[in-house]
Every structure is written in structure tokens, then in C-alpha cells.
Amino acid sequence: MTDTPDPDAVAPAVDSLDTIVSLSKRRGFIFPSSEIYGGINAVWDYGPLGVELKNNVKRAWWRAMVQERTDIVGLDAGILMHPQVWITSGHVGSFSDPLVECGSCQRRYRLDELPGAESLSATELRETGIVERLGLVCPNDGGPLSPPRRFNLMFTTHMGPVEDDGSVVYFRPETAQGSYVNFKNVQQSSRKKIPFGIAQIGKSFRNEISPGNFVFRMREFEQMEMQYFVRPGEAAATAFEEWLPRRRAWYEHYGVAPQRLRFREHAPDELAHYAQKAIDVEYRFPFGWKELEGIHNRGDFDLGSHARASGENLEYFDPATEERFVPWVVETAAGADRAAFTFLIDAYREEEVRGEKRVVLGMHPELAPYKVAVLPLLKKRPEIVALCHRLRDDLARDVMAVYDDTAAIGKLYRRQDEIGTPWCVTVDVESLEDGAVTVRDRDTMAQERVPLEGVKWLILDRLSVARG
């Protein structure tokens, strides 16, 4: 099931990824990690604005998935877990991608990302003679490529002072396993009845073969995953269908244009070993339609496997029907970095205003790094500056508010537009007399005069309306 058949029929929000990469660097959203040492591939650092954006994305997800629901509770499990977890989950045996290597330049590629191999089926990707059959060569120097071999994506380290085989532990490649092994702890302590969910946000690590496209594919990243425990069979299928529109609507609510979202169902031979059914929410990135979030019906694979391997009884007892069963799991697996990246791309606009280019991040106010900027019309008047600081300090008790006086007012507005600040408050000479200030709206650029004491309530009220 792909509900938008032609991938080129929908244009991306920006033509070139470079626009977003350079804005991110220039304005302090995202920097390459360890840049002064030449960087480290596929790790990115969030600057002053980026950390606000990503925190806001995580908060928005948590609100929708935990705070506003009565049937989902949170968890924050460790990144390092008992190594048996990853054997039982199947990650040690099969969490791998097909890797091919160039015989002349030694570059390595993920087979399904090579030009000419993007639409191969999962069965074809395992075929030893596939490189030869398709005549694939190295995109870098045209050299010969090796047959594909499976490359495990988990990072390992050693726990304790002895670095031998017995001390190997894995950096988690997903947060989900923490929810499965804590199923009983959470269910019993929270007294939740099925259906109920466990939500987690946290770092995951994957030794991706070909990371890239900025923060789209990283080796260290953050996930926002929810495991919904349900009755087996029909109930799981129904829950799966219910989560699909809900998750897609979340992206739309926070500003993603509906035409740049679609569902894509995994083909039977593409399904992960645990999955009964899987549908991705995809977004039209500047580099094509790609996964934003995976929604999976995982059957009883997770609790069933952990129960067998650990010897713990992970059955649920339903007091209403007096039945015991191993719950099935419906999972919604999203990436915090990928979501923040998507909101950033989709909010980007270039407009012409009075013959000048205006760059605006038309972000949902809840996601914007700063909610409000307080700006003096004349920075040489100490009373104006003092009033600005008093106002900013008061606003900052409730929202992220920033003061800026490093340019003329027109330029200050443009700077705030470019980082998505929904409201600017300007204090001028008249403010000293009439106790009113000008509030400017990012999107309409409309200005209104508001009494000082009403500014905070106006902003909190508009934020609340936008939250919906």
C-alpha cells in the first residue's frame, strides 16, 4: 500500500538540502561533531537553537503519547542492557544490512542505496550474484564491487575492567527492548490493564554502513518509541489500524504539509523477523520519499521470546475473562532527530517582501526554539533597554524569550523570522509614556499595540490555541 504512487509528483519543501544545512550551521541549530578535529562521520551536535527545537519535538511527542492519554505510561531504560536481551531479540543474529565493498578504492556501500539497486526486493538483496547480474560498479571510481555480505549494525563495548569475549555489551540499537524486559515491572506497578502502552525517548546507536543526508541517518541518534500491549490476533490488527492515522496526524498537527506525507507498507519479504505487518509513515525529503516513522504489528514475538529465554512468565492475566495470554505488541517507532529535521525542512519558506527576500521558518509555535523576542527600537535609551529586560525576564519565567539589540529593527525582525520566532515585541519611546508595546506576528507581519501587562497573556493564549 503506497497512497502516493508517483514519487516525483510531490515537490519537496526545499529543493536543496544545502539550504537547510547552511541555515542550521549559520544560526546554531546543528553542527558537525568534533569539527575542530575534522569531524566524526554521522554524529551531529545540536546548537543553542537546535537543542530547543529537539526538546520541543520530544515534549510534543510525550504530550501526545503519554500526558494526554490514560493508557500509556513512560519509561527511561538504560542504554546498556544484559547482552542476552540482544540475542533473544534477534539483533545479534540478524540486525544487519547488505554491505558491498569496492575492490579498488575500498569504499563500502549499503547495497540497497547504490544507484540501480534502490528498488531491489529483500530476497534479491540477499542474492550472492546480484552485483554481477545487475552490472553494479563503485559509484566513486567505477571499480568492481564484492558480493553482498551481512554487516551487523550494533556497536559493542566491554563492561568492567576485563576486555574479553565474556564482557561484551551492546549499545542499544533501539529503545523498544527496554520496554519489553520491563513489561511486568511497569504493568504491575502502574496497574494498567490491557490495552496499555509504554513510551520511551532516548539515544540509540547503529553502525550504519552509509550514513548521510545530514541528520537523516546518523550513527548516534534519538528515538521516540511506544510499545502498545494488546490482546492477540484481531485486537492487535485493530490497534495497528488505529495508530496509523493518529501518528500521521501528529506530524500534520505540528506543521508538515499533508501532501508530503504518505504511508508505505512493507512487502512480505521486507518484513523484519518479528513483524506481522509494517507500515512506514514516509516524508518527501529533498532526496526522495523516506521513512519518518515505522508502525509495526509485532505479534507475540517480543514477550514470547523473552519469556522463553529468561524463564520468566510474561503472561498477562485478564481478570474480566480469567484468561492468561502473552500480549501482542503494536509499536510506533519514530526518530527525534528525523522528526526535528522534517519540521525544519517543511517550515522553510522564502518570500518576497517589498522587493526583498524574506526567509521564514513558519514553524508551529510549540516547536519554535524561541517563542518571543523582545527588541528595543532605540538601544541608546537606557529606559527602553531596561524595560525590555524587565519584560523579557518576566516572559522567560514561562517561555523561551530572547533579547536582541545588535541591529536595526528591520534586521532584527528578519533574524527572528529566519529562526522561526512566532512573536516579536518592540519597545519604543512611546512605550515609556503609554505603557504599551508592539507585538509583531511572524507569519502575517501584522503589528498590534498591546498594554505591557497583557503581553504575556496574549502569547500564552496564542500558544495554547496553537497547541489545539
Which residues of this chain interact with ligand ATP, rule CB under 6 A? 174, 206, 208, 217-218, 221, 223, 291-294, 333-335, 337-338
Least distance CB 206 / ligand ATP (angstroms): 5
Least distance CB 150 / ligand ATP (angstroms): 14
- As a whole number of angstroms, the distance between CA 293 and CA 9 comes to 22
- As a whole number of angstroms, the distance between CA 167 and CA 171 comes to 13
- As a whole number of angstroms, the distance between CA 227 and CA 294 comes to 12
Residue 230 corresponds to which cell in the numbers above?
A: 494488546
Contact 35, 204 (CB under 8 A): no
Q: How many C-beta atoms surround the C-beta of residue 371 within 10 A?
A: 24
Least distance CB 29 / ligand ATP (angstroms): 16
Question: Which residue lies nearer to ligand ATP by CB, 208 or 318?
Answer: 208
Least distance CB 175 / ligand ATP (angstroms): 9
- As a whole number of angstroms, the distance between CA 134 and CA 128 comes to 12
Question: Which residue lies nearer to ligand ATP by CB, 200 or 223?
Answer: 223
- As a whole number of angstroms, the distance between CA 323 and CA 300 comes to 16
Least distance CB 423 / ligand ATP (angstroms): 31
Closest residue to ligand ATP in the complex (CB)? 335
- As a whole number of angstroms, the distance between CA 222 and CA 204 comes to 6
Question: Which residue lies nearer to ligand ATP by CB, 206 or 415?
Answer: 206
Question: Which residue lies nearer to ligand ATP by CB, 293 or 404?
Answer: 293
Least distance CB 389 / ligand ATP (angstroms): 40
Contact 96, 153 (CB under 8 A): yes
Question: Which residue lies nearer to ligand ATP by CB, 271 or 409?
Answer: 271
Question: Which residue lies nearer to ligand ATP by CB, 187 or 332?
Answer: 332
Contact 252, 60 (CB under 8 A): no
Least distance CB 65 / ligand ATP (angstroms): 14
Question: Which residue lies nearer to ligand ATP by CB, 101 or 174?
Answer: 174
* Preceding amide of 195 cis, omega within 30: yes
Q: In terms of Cα–Cα distance, which of 204, 202, 226, 212 is closest to 294?
A: 226
